[in-house]
Chains A and B, each alone.
Chain A
């Protein structure tokens, strides 16, 4: 979305199923992962985010609070929110979990549709896992 009058609003996807505060928290995660904001540095305030994305400050605060609940951010009283020492690890673990979970769900569904038994499926996974590990060595 281009803002008429010189300033540029950052882009949020209005058609996404994801609520804006989730999009904000994911954007902040990316900023942390690519080290735009490093550990123990201060993260954007809800008001800065509101201006950057042209959204209500309460919506921005919800995005920040998700990361605070996940211990990606910590609060310094009176100073704002800062990036935790293990923020990157927490984000990576979370992303792995959601991605892998989704793939396993798809896999299990496909197996059920094809009448593949639980044992057969586990054997297939075990075989593939060993093969890939062997190739890595």
Chain B
């Protein structure tokens, strides 16, 4: 079953298209990573899915209806980001109590255990929390709500390394206990890729890739060696990324669609074939030029 379906979805702010002609579907009970650089349109897309923003053109359906102003969507969705505001009249514990009344699937036992594990003081108010602690508190609400559609927008920003790991492990464990559709946006694919099932990669509001996460891993390979040899071998190949890394040595990233014979030929002329970390694949695919930051200085 489709939980989210977008067809040629576009969102314009003035003349700028934050989301441009985006089509994809997310099926039920999968964890999808929404990956893109700063300003790629991740938050705009997530806010449209959650029903916070109206789209400009195209179509968007969540649980089969247009999410904007939809009670059905808002009752079954939770959107967690670091801009969440809570009443300062209530203590943290009272906030959990009121969330319990609000979300029908709320797991209060889980909420209290996480609250305790992360050493929150029950009588503090949300405004007094540090950035990382705010993110952690929001995460507890997002997990305990157990909404059929759970959206986390950059959930780990401000968290320390240990808390990040805890968060992703808690997310995975609770997903196994209670499968639901989860969308997780991040610009750091490294720390999320293992728990994802699918990856949706966007750049300038457009879709670059939507694939199972293993296919992203195998999407590209790196070729390294003498610049002339590399140039000759690459004559008819369009690189995803290319960089000179030293005197007369270059490194190129290309799509992993070369035949074994071509790769053997590359090895025969002294080129090395190396795996490319997923993080780098995402960076190169979403970067604005093929040479990266070095182009600015050359």
Contacts and interface: CB of A to CB of B under 8 A. Distances in A.
Interface of A: 3-5, 7, 12, 15-17, 19-21, 47, 50-51, 53-59, 62
B162 interface: yes
B144 interface: no
A54 B117 CA distance: 20
A80 to B, nearest CB: 15
A16 B214 CA distance: 12
Contacts of A62: 214
Contacts of B176: 47, 50-51, 57
B194 A20 contact: yes
B169 A3 contact: yes
B59 interface: no
A56 B166 contact: no
Contacts of A47: 176
Interface in B148-175: 162, 165-166, 168-169, 172-173, 175
B197 A58 contact: yes
Contacts of A20: 194, 214
Given A4-B162, A20-B194, A54 B214 contact: no
A15 B275 contact: yes
A17 B195 contact: no
Contacts of A7: 169
A3 to B, nearest CB: 6
Contact of A58 (B30, B166, B169): B30
B214 A5 contact: no
Given A17-B275, A59-B214, A54 B162 contact: no
Interface string B88-108: 000000000000000000000
A51 B166 CA distance: 13
B165 to A, nearest CB: 5
A16 B218 CA distance: 11
Contacts of A21: 214
A56 B194 contact: yes
Contact of A55 (B30, B194, B277): B194
A54 B166 contact: no
Nearest to A55: B194
Given A4-B165, A20-B194, A55-B195, A50 B172 contact: yes
A117 to B, nearest CB: 21
B166 A19 contact: no
Contacts of B173: 51
A19 B217 CA distance: 7
Nearest to B195: A56
Nearest to B179: A57
Contacts of A12: 194
B165 A3 contact: yes
B254 interface: no
A17 B168 CA distance: 24
Contacts of B31: 56
**Top 6 closest pairs, chain A to chain B, by CB:** A4-B162, A58-B197, A19-B214, A17-B275, A55-B194, A56-B197
21 contacts: A3-B165, A4-B162, A5-B162, A5-B165, A15-B277, A16-B275, A17-B275, A20-B214, A47-B176, A50-B172, A53-B194, A54-B168, A54-B169, A54-B172, A55-B194, A56-B31, A56-B194, A56-B195, A59-B197, A59-B213, A59-B214
A112 to B, nearest CB: 11
Contacts of A53: 194
Nearest to A61: B197
